[in-house]
Amino acid sequence: MTLAEALNQNFFIITCELAPPKGTDVSNLSNTALLLKNLVNAINLTDGQGGNMRMCPLAAAQFLLKEGIDVIWQLTCRDRNRIALQADCLGASALGIKNVLPMKGDDPKSGDHPEAKPVFDLETTELIKTLKKLNDGFDMSGNELKGKTNFLIGCTAHPNAPDLAKQEELIKDRFSFGAGFIQTQICYDVDQIKRFADSLGEFAKKTIVGITPLKSLKMANFMNEKVFGVTVPEKIMKRIEGSKDQRQEGLNIAKEIIAQLKGTGIGGIHVMAVGQENVLPEIIQFLIN
């Protein structure tokens, strides 16, 4: 079942995230994706995550699409001006990509080419508006296209946002501009996710919450100190610290969070196995069974 089908049928959605290769060898990406094919509704392909140079997700997507795997193309504002963004969108649609997630993009200073100059010609909401125009058959300047795009457009959100009411207004705007689903940052606090779901109202069922199993206390500390918008609660820190098998405890915690999410009205989960992509199929099997 594709992402669009799962959304239309109110099916509990499962997506995950893979990074294109650092090079031209796509064998590991393809092999991992094939193992995930019957476990998830769609696979996100990241766009230079962390500000690091990798194969463009538009190209990487072709190796998944030919295997019948639904792809969510992450498209950042960081690297391209409005001409290049629109050109890539036309190409992506012509090549069969159905889902796109517009994002700001990580600062190049944090990546492997810190001297790179960011573009940010458009900000995320402007890109969502542009994608809607392309779906309607026109470019940003109002010129008619010979063949329009047909994207399911996503947007991002943060369950830990300091002002949920303000974020709700932004999400309403983005849906009015053409967004059709939400994927979120990681959250480990179920009560906070419930507050977030309540703030979303009708959009909760179209929201896919970020889940990342913690593999160690060191990783939990890193999340707290380095990852914007993510907080690991003290009770989870203590559980992991006191466990004989920290990685397994992190998986157990993630599975418990998912079980509780199913009663909140949230539409599904987005599994990001940071540093564990090589065992992502096994992780998802454990989390959903």
221 closest CA partner among 213, 211, 229, 231 = 231
Contacts of 143 (CB under 8 A, 6+ apart): none
Q: Which domain holds residue 19?
A: 3-216+257-288
Residue 264 has pLDDT above 90, yes or no: no
Please check whether residue 103 is in contact with residue 156, taking contact to mean a CB–CB distance below 8 angstroms: yes
Sequence-distant (6+) residues with CB within 8 A of 80 are 88, 119, 121
**Cβ burial 104-140 (10 Å sphere, 16+ → b, else e):** ebbebeebeeeebebbebbebebbbbbbbbbbeeebb
How many folded domains does the chain comprise? Answer: 1
Q: Which helix (H) or strand (E) holds 125?
A: helix 124-136
Say what the pLDDT of residue 229 is.
Answer: 83
Q: Has residue 64 been placed in a domain?
A: yes
pLDDT of residue 15: 98
Q: For a pLDDT cut of 90, what percent of the chain falls above it?
A: 95
Distance CA 221, CA 8 (A): 38
Helix or strand (DSSP H, E) at 284: helix 280-288
Mean pLDDT computed over 133-144: 98
* Nearest-10 crossing angle of helices 82-94, 124-136: 50
pLDDT value for 228: 82
- Mean of pLDDT over the chain: 96
Task: Write out the two tokens for 122.
Answer: 């458009």
The predicted model scores a pTM of 0.96
The pLDDT, as a whole number, for residue 89 is: 98
Note the pLDDT of residue 198. Answer: 95
Q: What is the pLDDT of residues 214-251, one digit of tens each?
A: 999 999 999 999 888 899 999 999 999 999 999 999 99
CATH number for the domain including 264? 3.20.20.220
Q: Which residue has the tokens 């960011």?
A: 118
DSSP string, 56-118: -HHHHHHHHHTTT--EEEEEESSS--HHHHHHHHHHHHHTT--EEEEE----GGGSS-TTPPP
Cβ neighbour number for residue 149 with a 10 Å cutoff: 22
Place of tokens 């096994």: 282
Q: Which residue has the tokens 């893979």?
A: 18
Rounded distance between C-alpha atoms, residue 90 and residue 97, angstroms? 10
Average pLDDT, stretch 33-43? 97
248 within a domain of the structure (yes/no):
no
Matching residue, tokens 């703030």: 199
Contact 43, 17 (CB under 8 A): yes
Q: Do 211 and 186 touch, CB atoms closer than 8 A?
A: yes
- The string of pLDDT tens digits covering residues 59-111 is 999 999 999 999 999 999 999 999 999 999 999 999 999 999 999 999 999 89
List the structure tokens of 92.
């992506």
HSE toward the beta carbon, residue 46, CA cutoff 13 A: 21
pLDDT score at 65: 98
- Please state, for a pLDDT cut of 70, what percent of the chain lies above it: 100
Does some domain include residue 265? yes
145 within domain boundaries: yes
- Is residue 227 in some structural domain? no
Taking the alpha carbons at both ends of the chain, their separation in whole angstroms is 18
- Domain assignment present for residue 137? The answer is yes
The reply to whether 232 falls in a domain is no
Distance, in Å, from the CA atom of 167 to the CA atom of 254, rounded to the nearest integer, reads 25
Average pLDDT over residues 134-145: 98
58 falls within a domain:
yes
CB-CB contact of 254 with 224 (8 Å): no
Whole-angstrom distance, CA of residue 128 vs CA of residue 174:
7
In the predicted model, is pLDDT for residue 11 greater than 90? yes
| The predicted structure's pLDDT at residue 263 | 81
